[in-house]
Structures are given as structure tokens and as C-alpha cells.
């Protein structure tokens, strides 16, 4: 019943986070109803994503000529205070209050089973090597900024053990964020307070 291009669209977009087959179907029909210009603009926006690169330090996306994102390339930011986040949207949310002047490391989506994936282990090893080479083996502070959910807390304790001895102190965000809440959806004031009250 559905034309093949719509089926193809649904097949691809239903695999994205928070978009199932029903939402993907709605998106397809919304784009079609908007006309060819609308489809061309959406197509161009998606196509332009291929020009993005991943930062060699923190694994955030960027379009700079160098291999560093704007945050890692900024010499006025502290390199010895490192905040670990789960995903890119957490980094964006934590940057919004403009209360943090260190650097980041995006670890990747956390497992609900309490085990680190091989990519996450590689990223933590990358961080340990950075601390060893660039900071004489000891960061001032590592902040584990995972959402205060059951699996966020579980993974935070695993990561803290992995990074033991790599920093003078390893802290967590303060509980300005309610337990079970997501960093991505917290407002700027709450995130600012969570940064201030980290322990």
C-alpha cells in the first residue's frame, strides 16, 4: 500500500533514537506534504552531516580543519579538569549554563547491565594516556556527569574505579538534577547548581 520510497524512509528513520515506525511514517508524510523544496532542504541538511568530524580528544563532532572541536582547541579552557558525559546532547546541555571551563570526554551510551563496551574502554584508555602525557599523570579533577538514574550511578562507580589514581579527585554532579532525571532535559539553572554542588 505504501510507495517504496516511503517504506525506505520509514525503515531508515525508525531506527533513530525516540523515533519508531509510526513517527517515521508521520515524518515522511509531513515532508511530502511540504513539497519538493522542503524535501530538498531536508536532504541537503542530512547530506551535510557527512562533512562533520569527530574530535580526537573528546569525541564531540566538529567541522574544523584541525582534528579538535572548538572546546578542545580553546586555549583558555582548563585541560586538567575533565568532565565525562554519556552523550553529545549532555555536553551541549552542560555547556549552556557557561559555568564549566574544563574539557570533556564523551563516553558513549551507557549499558544498563553495568559493563563498559569495548569502545568505552578505548575512550577511557585514551583519557588515561592524555593525562599521563599532557598532565604528568594526574588531572586536577575528573567529573563523572552521568544522569542520576540507577544505571547512570552503576556506570559512574565502574568508571570511577577505572580512573582511580588518574586525578586528585573524582567527583559526581550535585543532586540538583532529580534522581531518575536526564541531563539532556534539565534547565540551565539546575545544571549550574549541579556543577557547583558536585562532590
- Supply the CATH number for residue 12's domain: 1.10.8.420
Pair 190, 162 in one domain: yes
Pair 46, 68 in one domain: no
Alpha helices in 61-180 (DSSP H): 70-73, 88-95, 118-134, 150-162
Pair 11, 66 in one domain: no
Q: Which helix (H) or strand (E) holds 108?
A: none
The domain total for the chain is 2
> Cα–Cα distance between 39 and 33 in angstroms, integer?
9
Pair 133, 88 in one domain: yes
CA-wise closest residue to 5 among 23, 29, 35, 22: 29
Give Cα 89 distance to the centre of its chain: 5
Pair 125, 162 in one domain: yes
Q: What is the pLDDT of residue 179?
A: 66
Pair 59, 121 in one domain: yes
CATH of the domain at 76: 3.40.1360.10
> Cα–Cα distance between 100 and 130 in angstroms, integer?
20
Question: Domain boundary residue among 12, 36, 51?
Answer: 51
Listed in sequence order, the residues at least 6 apart from 159 whose beta carbon sits closer than 8 Å to its beta carbon are: 84, 107, 116, 124, 144, 146
Pair 104, 144 in one domain: yes
Q: What is the pLDDT of residue 184?
A: 82
Q: What is the pLDDT of residue 195?
A: 79
Q: What is the pLDDT of residue 170?
A: 96
Range of the structural domain that residue 35 is part of:
4-51
- The predicted model scores a pTM of 0.81
Residues of the chain with pLDDT under 70: 175-179, 199
Pair 66, 148 in one domain: yes
Amino acid at each position: 500500500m505504501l510507495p517504496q520510497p516511503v517504506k525506505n524512509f520509514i525503515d531508515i528513520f525508525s531506527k533513530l533514537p525516540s523515533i519508531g515506525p509510526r513517527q517515521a511514517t508521520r515524518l515522511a508524510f509531513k515532508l511530502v506534504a511540504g513539497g519538493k523544496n522542503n524535501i530538498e532542504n531536508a536532504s541537503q541538511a542530512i547530506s551535510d552531516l557527512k562533512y562533520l568530524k569527530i574530535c580526537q580528544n573528546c569525541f564531540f563532532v566538529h567541522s574544523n580543519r584541525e582534528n579538535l572541536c572548538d572546546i578542545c582547541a580553546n586555549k583558555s579552557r582548563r585541560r586538567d579538569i575533565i568532565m565525562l558525559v554519556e552523550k553529545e546532547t549532555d555536553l551541549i546541555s552542560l555547556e549552556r549554563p557557561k559555568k564549566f571551563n574544563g574539557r570533556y570526554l564523551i563516553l558513549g551510551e551507557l549499558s544498563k547491565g553495568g559493563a563498559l563496551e569495548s569502545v568505552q574502554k578505548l575512550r577511557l584508555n585514551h583519557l588515561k594516556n592524555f593525562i599521563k602525557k599532557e598532565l604528568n599523570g594526574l588531572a586536577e579533577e575528573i567529573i563523572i556527569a552521568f544522569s542520576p538514574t540507577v544505571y547512570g550511578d552503576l556506570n559512574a562507580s565502574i568508571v570511577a574505579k577505572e580512573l582511580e589514581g588518574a586525578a586528585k579527585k573524582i567527583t559526581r554532579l550535585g543532586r540538583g538534577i532529580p534522581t531518575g532525571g536526564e541531563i539532556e532535559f534539565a534547565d540551565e539553572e539546575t545544571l549550574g547548581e549541579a556543577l557547583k554542588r558536585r562532590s
